[in-house]
A and B are shown apart, each in its own frame.
Chain A
Amino acid sequence: MTHHDPEFCLNTPDFADLHRRIDRRHFLVKTSLGLGALATSVLLQGCKRTTPAAALSATAESIGALPHFLPKAKRIVYLFMSGGPSQFETFDYKPNLVKMAGQDLPDSVRKGQRLTGMSASQAILPVAPSLFKFNQHGKSRTWVSELLPYTAGVVDDLCIVKSLYTEAINHDPAITFFQTGSQLPGRPSIGSWVTYGLGSDNENLPAFIVLVSKNAAKDQPLYARLWGNGFLPSRYQGVQFRSGSDPVLFLNNPDGYDGHDRKQMLGYLKKLNQFQMEAYQDPEIEDRIAQYEMAYRMQTSVPGVIDVSDEPDEVFDLYGPGSRDPGTFAANCILARRLLERDVKFVQLYHQGWDQHDSLPSAITRQCKETDQATAALIKDLKRRGLLEDTLVVWGGEFGRTVYSQGRLTPTNYGRDHHPRCFTMWMAGAGVKAGFSYGQTDDFSYNIVENPVHVHDFQATLMHLMGVDHERLSYKFQGRRFRLTDVHGKVVHDILA
């Protein structure tokens, strides 16, 4: 497959355009034949876009035709539990800790590894067993905490990885690392990489949509750059829907305007933008043109997606309390399902409030109540609709928490500090083993003893499930080719179905 084959750019016309622009030969013919014609056809015909079987630049050729191989997942919904959920109270069952409760963490476990500045100066690092009971569930007999009764009910659909690890010890670098593959801001988010590489399956909606829970403790902030496009063209950034009854503002025409000449107006605006484009060749102008067109199409497509009045009561009951209140985690899960049904490729939810340095028992109980039922409901709902077989569901935070209590340990209360050396995530659905647990930590869930999975490995695996070879999807910026996994990452084949 070379760029001379007409099939090459069939999937990702945007992607093709982008590289054509870089290509000098096309640069020269641009003013007469360029993107304008293509963009016009988009605006006038909606999704009835024609793809010119034109040549691609050498850059595109080195990336290869995407997807690189048959994907397992068509879409992803990533439930980001921001703050770092404790593995001890959720999935990583450590019964032996009870015997050690209150004792100083043995040096043989910690091996002199560094702690965060928040607990490094504690006189004692008292071992804190989970206050919550664990039980085995499902055919897979997987241990799940009593805080997650609904998740326990779908445990046979989950692929639980207990051996994630990261290098970052604080929230922002750690989330940035998970979302972009680098602890420093500035790189594109996973969703941007995926949609840049694979294009859109529904041109009437953004391919990468972000939903943030309104009903979470905002203990740690989120920034829009977490779903930002970095150096990729800005049309690939995640589009955040507002958390409330009006997720996208100004969909309706203002009073006194019927909107019938809007198309004409946008047509003129585009012409103006194109004059500018021809003069300055700033690719951001094209992104702006594309975004105007997307906004125009969203006026028609979004109301149907966000209007949940056609959902039967049974659905709201399934997702649990809060599901009727727009902007909550539960309501966002329903919205996510509706977006996935419409083939939105990457839906990312964020739920903050997992950063429990103190009062962990009460805080984590609340967090689980807010998320457990809707999370399990999302899995059940996707499954019965036949969507789980080509949708990947991901659940997890940016790091784990320490076995010892930060601050005083009492019989009813404790806190846990950040712990990057091991933590638990799970995936479910397309292409991953169901009812399966992977990786093991030591008795203190302090270090990994079996099958470590680095953040880059997780990212590589996620890309693999989407049909992308993470080593081949790159973007040249400031003289260097960048990729999501930098120079690291190995696909975790053991968890693939």
Chain B
Amino acid sequence: MVENILTSLGRLHPVIVHLPIGFLVLVAILDVASYKKRYTQLGNATPFVLLLGFIAAVVSCVFGFLLSRTGDYDETILVRHQVWGILLTAVAGGLYLIRAAAIQRNLNVSRSVRTALSLVILVMVVFTGHFGGSLTHGSDYLSFKSTGVNTANQISPNADRIYADIVQPILQRKCSQCHGQAKRKGGLSLESLEAMLKGGKHGPAIVPGDIKHSEMIRRIFLDPSDEDFMPSDGKTPLTAVETEILRWWVGEGSAGESLRLSSLPDTVIIRSLVDQLIEGERSQPKLTGLVPPARVDTAAIERLRNKGLVVRIVNYQRMQLDVTLPPRSGIRVSEISDDLRPLSKHVVWINLSDNGLTEDDLDVLAELTHVERVRLEKNPISDGIVEHLRNLEFLESVNLNETEVTCAGVEGLRKNPAIKRIYLWKTLCDKNN
């Protein structure tokens, strides 16, 4: 209990620490400014501000010490930060004593020495702050190599080495702030494969080939409201594509360090995942991985609705749509194809059952690249439908009940590896007949 309170207080360190920074910087500013005639009287305020700065620094030191006991940080940088912090506090305290004494005329220290000491404190604040920043943000946070977007974390369109070119950049941008070289929350670093295998407090982050026992995979797939969900504390979560890539790499890829895309068979799912990742980065460099885009053509939705279709947004995060053509609507697909096209990346469920449709009406299906469930039952559809569905890589479920498809057509459909369920009740390929 007491331990928890102390740790929580420690977590306030990064907040509290800005108080002494402010006060001590202000001391230097006041000292320098008071050289100007207009601001001479400001010099009188410095001892008081200095005292505030000193007290705040002491409190920060105590909180910082509490935080350091969690052991989530890189030792070397931590020690430097500690030494500089304590030294800074001591110097600030010393300077205050000198000043206070000077006021009482017991000590005669020239003004320029006092100002010089304030500037020394300023420099010390910078150093201490720099080490502190390195602890939380990583030591290369301020390096000049990265201007704006961190190009090192960008995934190149020519990415080939799965671990080095794809997995590490994902980890770098989403995880390394807390699980890096400098800061190791829960004792875990994801900087290297070795470190991941070694893991942290809750065991190894990954177990090659065994996603069930890979703590990292488990946590990124949890519901965001779950306590164990990673990244924690509302930090930007991994995108669906990123989580799938990590899962593939640990599971199917057995966390191989030398796997190369170019040496894997064409059919493997990781290819399309990486394509999506790269596609997402190229089209939206700032919002990586948002596939499909989060805005949707609302006018097209309105047009479909006005024609009598039921269109519902089933996922606002990705603007995914559920589209139903009411049964026996009398509407021909050709009348709605032009309105479906602008929504092609958004339609995830579509129901066109019982509308007298044949495969010749349904060319537009092949363009609905993100569709997951297609319902076509009770239509006079035959095997030609397979052509439209063969390349839909997210298609999970196809309902062909009461259509005219044959087993030959179904064979063709099964070549799409994404499809998990095909309904064939009352067709020529119904197993029960």
Interface residues of A, Cβ cutoff 8 Å to B:
1, 6-7, 10-11, 47-51, 53, 65, 67-71, 74, 199, 201-202, 343, 384-386, 389-390, 467, 491, 493
Using known A-B contacts A6-B298, A201-B324, determine if residue A385 contacts B377 with beta carbons closer than 8 Å: yes
Bound together, the chains give a CA A489 to CA B145 distance in angstroms of 49
Residues of B with C-beta under 8 A to A69: 315, 317
Encode contact with A along B178-220: 1 for CB under 8 Å, 0 otherwise: 0000000000000000000000000000000000000000000
Using known A-B contacts A48-B308, A50-B302, determine if residue A7 contacts B313 with beta carbons closer than 8 Å: yes
Residues of A with C-beta under 8 A to B223: 491, 493
Residues of B with C-beta under 8 A to A493: 222-223, 226
Grouping DSSP codes into helix (H, G, I), strand (E, B) and loop, the B interface class, with mixed when no group exceeds half, is mixed
Which single member of B226, B307, B319, B421 contacts A7 (CB below 8 Å)? B319
Query: Is A47 a contact partner of B308 (Cβ separation < 8 A)?
Result: yes
Query: Is B324 a contact partner of A343 (Cβ separation < 8 A)?
Result: yes
Query: Is B296 a contact partner of A201 (Cβ separation < 8 A)?
Result: no
Which single member of B298, B324, B399 contacts A10 (CB below 8 Å)? B298
Query: Is A51 a contact partner of B421 (Cβ separation < 8 A)?
Result: no
Query: Is A386 a contact partner of B397 (Cβ separation < 8 A)?
Result: yes
Query: Is A385 a contact partner of B425 (Cβ separation < 8 A)?
Result: yes
Residues of B with C-beta under 8 A to A74: 322
Grouping DSSP codes into helix (H, G, I), strand (E, B) and loop, the A interface class, with mixed when no group exceeds half, is loop
The chain B residue with its CB closest to the CB of A343 is B324
Which single member of B222, B349, B397, B401 contacts A384 (CB below 8 Å)? B401
Instruction: Please report the number of residue pairs spanning A and B whose Cβ atoms sit closer than 8 angstroms.
Output: 81
Bound together, the chains give a CA A11 to CA B321 distance in angstroms of 10
- A110 smallest CB distance to B (angstroms): 34
- A61 smallest CB distance to B (angstroms): 13
Bound together, the chains give a CA A231 to CA B305 distance in angstroms of 30
- B151 smallest CB distance to A (angstroms): 31
- A153 smallest CB distance to B (angstroms): 15
B side interface size, CB within 8 A = 38
Residues of B with C-beta under 8 A to A467: 314-315
21 A–B pairs (Cβ distance < 8 Å), ordered by A: A1-B316, A7-B295, A7-B296, A7-B298, A11-B312, A11-B313, A47-B326, A48-B305, A48-B308, A50-B306, A53-B298, A65-B316, A70-B315, A70-B318, A71-B314, A199-B312, A201-B324, A385-B377, A385-B423, A386-B423, A390-B373
Residues of B with C-beta under 8 A to A51: 302, 305
Is B301 an interface position by the 8 A CB rule? yes
Is B375 an interface position by the 8 A CB rule? yes
Per the 8 Å Cβ criterion, residues 39-56 of B in contact with A are: none
Bound together, the chains give a CA A393 to CA B306 distance in angstroms of 33
Is B320 an interface position by the 8 A CB rule? yes
Encode contact with A along B132-162: 1 for CB under 8 Å, 0 otherwise: 0000000000000000000000000000000
Bound together, the chains give a CA A491 to CA B226 distance in angstroms of 10
Which single member of B310, B377, B421 contacts A389 (CB below 8 Å)? B421
- A16 smallest CB distance to B (angstroms): 13
Query: Is A10 a contact partner of B313 (Cβ separation < 8 A)?
Result: yes
Closest 3 CB pairs of A and B: A386-B423, A70-B315, A386-B399
Bound together, the chains give a CA A254 to CA B45 distance in angstroms of 95
Bound together, the chains give a CA A241 to CA B348 distance in angstroms of 33
The chain B residue with its CB closest to the CB of A203 is B310
- A311 smallest CB distance to B (angstroms): 14
Query: Is B308 a contact partner of A386 (Cβ separation < 8 A)?
Result: no
Bound together, the chains give a CA A11 to CA B298 distance in angstroms of 12
Query: Is B401 a contact partner of A385 (Cβ separation < 8 A)?
Result: yes
Bound together, the chains give a CA A390 to CA B399 distance in angstroms of 12
Query: Is B315 a contact partner of A67 (Cβ separation < 8 A)?
Result: yes
Residues of A with C-beta under 8 A to B222: 493
The chain B residue with its CB closest to the CB of A469 is B225
Residues of A with C-beta under 8 A to B302: 50-51
Using known A-B contacts A7-B319, A10-B301, A343-B324, determine if residue A201 contacts B312 with beta carbons closer than 8 Å: yes
Bound together, the chains give a CA A51 to CA B302 distance in angstroms of 8
Bound together, the chains give a CA A246 to CA B79 distance in angstroms of 83
Additional 10 contacts, C-beta under 8 A, given A47-B310, A386-B399: A47-B326, A50-B306, A65-B313, A67-B313, A67-B314, A70-B318, A201-B310, A201-B312, A386-B421, A491-B223
Which single member of A53, A71, A202, A386 contacts B310 (CB below 8 Å)? A202
